[in-house]
Structure 1
């Protein structure tokens, strides 16, 4: 067995993110491109996007009903209805000038239809009864009732979407609502993914003695694409041969903004990625005080950022979740999305080693009294993929605690 010894002291998770952010921030430069609102999903806006019009463009009805002069409905009741003459009907495609409402008159409106001139309120269908060309009003309405005011949603010139916003469907919808068809965005972050290890075989091939399937690179490539703002490119799995791995790594560096390698983060003779960094690059940090994922490292090679993750899938996931993801958001000037969190009661004690930040996979369930019960996954190990598949979240044990006792209230970060 080869004894693993880390080069220098392990740094904290927070320090690792800060170091990587400072080292990588000026190395990643994304081009500004133009995308239509149909194609800009999960791109990052490159400028503030301003409203070109007021929305609504005019006062409009918030309900189906009748446009009226509110004073005409004073004192109206089921036993003493206000009776108004209906002049016509307006749809959302009508214009305010189509009708003028005077005392004793009403105009029937669909939801979204403009308020006709002279009217100042809308009575809902539920509070009326149509009798031929007249409508009985059973309930008084104040001025402005059931009316969406001009510019209530937004005003012309208002910032609808700020620069450096990850564009989601609702962002693109509000952009389209003001008449804008295309927006300036940053190109997606290109991330190259390389697997290392002579023992690895790609899925679909037959295993020989001493071989395992390459599952970690699959996890990494797909994880970075779930961020939305990045596009992963897988380059293959390469044996522990320095020159072969160097050529693959340099190709990935040329074609991407950032590269992530899996495996080869130890100090054994076979872990040649370490030698490549030593010869052609510089370390940002080596090893993080977290479990799993202690070998997680970062380097700069050919003026490009490189994250080096464990070859074990769960350790690699922890490196992605705790280090890679927050660093990417930070270097791009974006706020890291807040994941849903639920509080629950811990079903059993969970220990921690002081000085380490531990990420414990858990399953939540509803227990007696509709309380959330948090069950830690009992199988441990950096390669136990079922600890991710059979759970729905994780808890964090921070460096300054020895663990959580059974019955503790804990925060569960959901996947």
Structure 2
């Protein structure tokens, strides 16, 4: 019996449908993490500054704190000569010294500005002679001074809710004296491979068998998102009961499940039959290449993405559908991937109505042009098309292809 995917929807429609269907099904608990342990968690509330930063005016350079009017007209041939009262470091307080006319205080970067001083002269524009310093350059009021609250002010939102916490976010949180932050638990994603022909790496192949490389790609891709954690449940043959038992276990233990394989149209594609019997389809098949069988469903009130068993098609499903949907579910700002423009080395065709993801390699020509070389070998299972390339171009649904010499945008991996 021949079974069909049915009408295909666009990539944008697939992301929209999956987001709408899955968003209310995934509930993440709020937990507390220290700033040492919260990397790549998502903030569950705004983080507000407890203090001004800097807490007081401070020096932005190494040099001498002065009253700016004392340096008026100073030059190498006519230096202003000031008496050095002392030395200040970042651990000093502003009231440690009071600077009066004709006086200066030596200090390092980050040191508070002593009372009375309104500017700092850099070391490079001075010469120290005993307890006096010669000033060779006039400075205006405020020169080389970081003003109180210049970085941020008390009460200011430092990190917004639904921010994926990177090292710099955690650093600024720590800089205001906060040690713990409320975050959403990481989204747990279960991964199941389907296919009687699959063998795990490390075992010997028999006739008709292939190694399960796709699940390795999927699990590691999911981990790179940062806000997710994954568990791999293994390879299961094309046998309904065994696969159903594993799938239901993964559904109980995770917020979302991704399956690989079993998304085609043959009678052996038992995952399709499980969805038909126990769940509902969100969509089945996407008008994109590779990755046309990419699908989404709901089983036992849990989201399921169904990816092709071919690694490159699975990667496309992750890149085009799964990743954007997960960012949408958490209301996260999608990361901006580096893009470089180049000249296409040969024609690349496309089927109108499909969105194609073409792996490419970029190189610099002898005349310093960026040349974009499409990878010659095609097919959803050609892993070398990812390993031997460094980016991809997108041919959108309304494009018949790009001619040789066209200027194209390359999205770098």
Specify the TM-score bucket, using the shorter chain as the normaliser. Answer: over 0.9
1:192 matched to 2:190? The reply is: yes
Distance 1:181 1:401 in 2: 52
**Which residue does the alignment assign to 2:334?**
336
Superposed CA deviations along residues 313-347 of structure 1, whole A, max 9, x for unmatched, are 00000000000000011111112111111111111
Q: Give the counterpart of 1:134 among 132, 135, 140.
A: 132
Superposed CA deviations along residues 296-315 of structure 1, whole A, max 9, x for unmatched, are 00000000000000000000
Superposed CA deviations along residues 67-92 of structure 1, whole A, max 9, x for unmatched, are 00000000001011000000000000
Q: Is the 8 A contact 1:51 1:156 kept in 2?
A: yes
**Which residue does the alignment assign to 2:235?**
237
Moved more, 362-371 or 148-157: 362-371
**Which residue does the alignment assign to 1:314?**
312
Q: Is the 8 A contact 1:6 1:287 kept in 2?
A: no
Distance 2:364 2:4 in 1: 42
Distance 1:139 1:337 in 2: 46
Distance 1:256 1:229 in 2: 14
1:253 matched to 2:251? The reply is: yes
Distance 1:99 1:335 in 2: 47
**Which residue does the alignment assign to 1:206?**
204
1:37 matched to 2:30? The reply is: no
| Other structure's SS at 2:217 match | helix
Q: Give the counterpart of 1:278 among 276, 282, 297.
A: 276
| Other structure's SS at 1:300 match | strand
- Unpaired runs of 5+ in structure 2? none
**Which residue does the alignment assign to 1:119?**
117
Q: Is the 8 A contact 1:6 1:286 kept in 2?
A: no
Cα deviation for residue 6 of structure 1 reads 2.9
Mapping of residues 167-182 of structure 1, within 5 Å: 167-182=165-180
Q: Give the counterpart of 2:355 among 357, 371, 385.
A: 357
Q: Is the 8 A contact 2:5 2:264 kept in 1?
A: no
Distance 1:127 1:170 in 2: 34
Q: Is the 8 A contact 2:286 2:293 kept in 1?
A: yes
Cα deviation for residue 368 of structure 1 reads 3.1
Cα deviation for residue 269 of structure 1 reads 1.4
- TM-score computed with the length of structure 2 as normaliser: 0.99
Q: Give the counterpart of 1:72 among 70, 73, 82.
A: 70
Distance 2:353 2:333 in 1: 27
Distance 2:18 2:65 in 1: 61
Distance 1:227 1:373 in 2: 30
Distance 2:122 2:363 in 1: 44
**Which residue does the alignment assign to 1:109?**
107
**Which residue does the alignment assign to 2:407?**
409
| Other structure's SS at 1:39 match | coil
| Other structure's SS at 2:304 match | strand
Distance 2:399 2:62 in 1: 59
- TM-score computed with the length of structure 1 as normaliser: 0.99
Mapping of residues 327-406 of structure 1, within 5 Å: 327-406=325-404
Q: Is the 8 A contact 2:34 2:180 kept in 1?
A: yes
| Other structure's SS at 1:370 match | coil
Distance 2:107 2:348 in 1: 62
Q: How many residues align?
A: 413
Q: Is the 8 A contact 2:5 2:293 kept in 1?
A: no
1:149 matched to 2:147? The reply is: yes
Cα deviation for residue 8 of structure 1 reads 2.0
Q: Is the 8 A contact 1:240 1:271 kept in 2?
A: yes
> Pairwise CA RMSD of aligned residues?
0.8
